[in-house]
Amino acid sequence: MTDSHIAEFEQDEEYSLNADLIDAILSAVEAGHQGRLIALLEPLHEADIADMLEQISRSERENLLQLWGHEIDAEVLSELEQGIRDEVMRALPDALLAEAVRDLDTDDVVYLVEDLDPPQQKNLLGKLDDADRVAVEQALTYPDHSAGRLMQRETVVAPSHWNVGQIIDYMRAAEDLPEVFYDIIIVDPMMHPVGDVRLGLIMGTAPEVLLAELMTDNFRTIPVDQDIEHVAYAFNQYHMVSAPVVDENGRLVGVITIDDAMEVLEDEVEEDMNRLAGLRDEELSNKVWLTTKKRFPWLAVNLFTAILASLVIAQFAETMEAIIALAVLMPIVASMGGNAGTQTLTVAVRAIATRDLTPANAMRVVRREVLVGLTNGVVFAVIIGIVGFVWFGDAMLGVVLGMAMIGNLLVAGLAGILVPIALDKLGADPALASGAFVTTVTDIVGFFAFLGLAAMLLL
């Protein structure tokens, strides 16, 4: 790596926010130095400015916005996470906000206003041009989380009998081509999309070639009310770059591009990850009280299941009084089961989301999980059996520990795979609450197997 390369890399890193830059911005705000603030923010991408606003404190944010005020870019608003966005939008003077929003594409306006209170929403929409307002209101009629909310309405279409020369002339003459487009959508006279042609392909083809001859194999339409989770899956699975969106009559109403799908895809994986941990749509900038409320339900479920496990333990109070080593050792078996179950569960939840786990291979995967549980169970049974024997000098105690370990890791594998499959079959989200089910099973089985075997074999 040469010096020039290092310099370039660091420069590249400078583009992102770093602590020094944030310090410089905050000290400009504190000094009330508007020129310096604007000079510092000007080279930053809107997404970085939004990140910076999220990372500073509320009072710093207020001061910054006041000083920066009339320069704010609406793109920054669409990059903010919701909590901070609401705060910033409330802090901006009405006229400024309206001016900012008028600069946005309609799909960005939809994103911005869809979660506002109705009066706020109406107020903001009233500030748009008539055409834009109608477009936004139309988009808002589609269900939340649907393709209709995600799509842009601006598309470039052509009939299939056109040739390359005709579409190039058409685009040349067009007043307002969409800001972003990668394909020409080929439509029939009823505006049903029948194929698409990549821009790059048009560039390299002679003017007399028919567009119909250039259409890609990989063409799919998206129903306007399809859940965006399925949209993102299709983009990822089929390496799509853009896809036409059609209404219930199969007519073109818009287009979704890969950059929108990419954000949805990341959100969906993150949602699975969060749900497995018992989190609900939490943002880092949420206040303490909101965060507490959002995390409470999962912890409450866990309290309930922990009490269930304690009820199981209570059945063996006498056994434990006789052999206190049981109380010392019993969390080990339960804890191992919880971890093994979570491993299987995480694999299963992702495999269902990516459609890698289907009825076609479910039985094979279940069998694999059982065998993995059994194998790891035997290995850890030997280890923990020896530990128990050495620690308490009781060979039979080691045997009981080992047997309980095998049983619980087997059950962990089974529960980890069957719970999400069952939730999916019932139409529920496999990630939601499956963690609670699985660890409840492994806790209860872990305590019951260990203490039950001990009661039978050691007393």
**Residue 82 found at the interface with a second copy (CB under 8 A):** no
* Smallest distance, a second copy to C-beta of residue 1, A: 6
Q: What is the DSSP string of 195-225?
A: EEEEHHHHHTS-TTSBGGGG--S----EETT
* Smallest distance, a second copy to C-beta of residue 453, A: 17
**Between 222 and 261, how does the x/- string for binding to a second copy read (CB under 8 A)?**
xx-xx--------xxxxx-x----x-xxx-------xx-x
Residue 359 and residue 91: Cα distance in Å, rounded? 52
Which of residues 188, 331, 382, 458 is near a second copy by CB under 8 A? 331
Pairing of β 242-246 and β 193-198? unpaired
**Residue 63 found at the interface with a second copy (CB under 8 A):** no
**Between 156 and 185, how does the x/- string for binding to a second copy read (CB under 8 A)?**
------------x--xx-x--xxxxxx---
Which stretches of 247-377 are assigned E, i.e. beta strand? 252-257
In the bound state with a second copy, the residue whose beta carbon lies nearer, of 115 and 259, is 259
In the bound state with a second copy, the residue whose beta carbon lies nearer, of 102 and 296, is 296
In the bound state with a second copy, the residue whose beta carbon lies nearer, of 125 and 415, is 415
* Smallest distance, a second copy to C-beta of residue 97, A: 22
Which of residues 99, 335, 399, 458 is near a second copy by CB under 8 A? 335
Q: What is the DSSP string of 222-261?
A: EETTSBHHHHHHHHHHHT-SEEEEE-TTS-EEEEEEHHHH
In the bound state with a second copy, the residue whose beta carbon lies nearer, of 56 and 399, is 56
Which of residues 31, 39, 134, 328 is near a second copy by CB under 8 A? 328
**Residue 145 found at the interface with a second copy (CB under 8 A):** no
**Residue 282 found at the interface with a second copy (CB under 8 A):** yes
Closest C-alpha to 339, from 432, 401, 413: 413
Residue 28 and residue 67: Cα distance in Å, rounded? 10
Closest C-alpha to 100, from 68, 73, 137, 131: 73
Q: How many CB atoms are closer than 10 A to CB 242? A: 21
Which of residues 151, 334, 414, 449 is near a second copy by CB under 8 A? 334
Size of the site for a second copy (CB under 8 A): 136
Task: Tell me phi and psi for residue 363, to 5 degrees.
Answer: -60, -40
In the bound state with a second copy, the residue whose beta carbon lies nearer, of 133 and 192, is 192
Which of residues 24, 33, 36, 56 is near a second copy by CB under 8 A? 56
Which of residues 357, 366, 438, 455 is near a second copy by CB under 8 A? 357
Structure tokens, 424: 């999916």
**Residue 141 found at the interface with a second copy (CB under 8 A):** no
**Residue 204 found at the interface with a second copy (CB under 8 A):** yes
CB within 8 A of 242, min separation 6: which ones? 181, 182, 183, 196, 255, 256, 257, 258
**Residue 190 found at the interface with a second copy (CB under 8 A):** no
In the bound state with a second copy, the residue whose beta carbon lies nearer, of 15 and 134, is 15
* CA dihedral over 265, 437, 405, 362, signed as positive or negative: negative
Closest C-alpha to 243, from 179, 228, 203: 228
Which residue is associated with the tokens 């990419």? 262
**Residue 343 found at the interface with a second copy (CB under 8 A):** yes
**Residue 212 found at the interface with a second copy (CB under 8 A):** no
The contacts found for 366-372 with CB under 8 angstroms, 24 or more apart, are 366/414, 366/417, 366/418, 366/421, 369/344, 369/413, 369/414, 369/416, 369/417, 370/410, 370/413, 370/414, 372/344, 372/413
Which of the residues 20 through 49 are near a second copy (CB under 8 A)? 22, 45, 47-48
In the bound state with a second copy, the residue whose beta carbon lies nearer, of 125 and 401, is 401
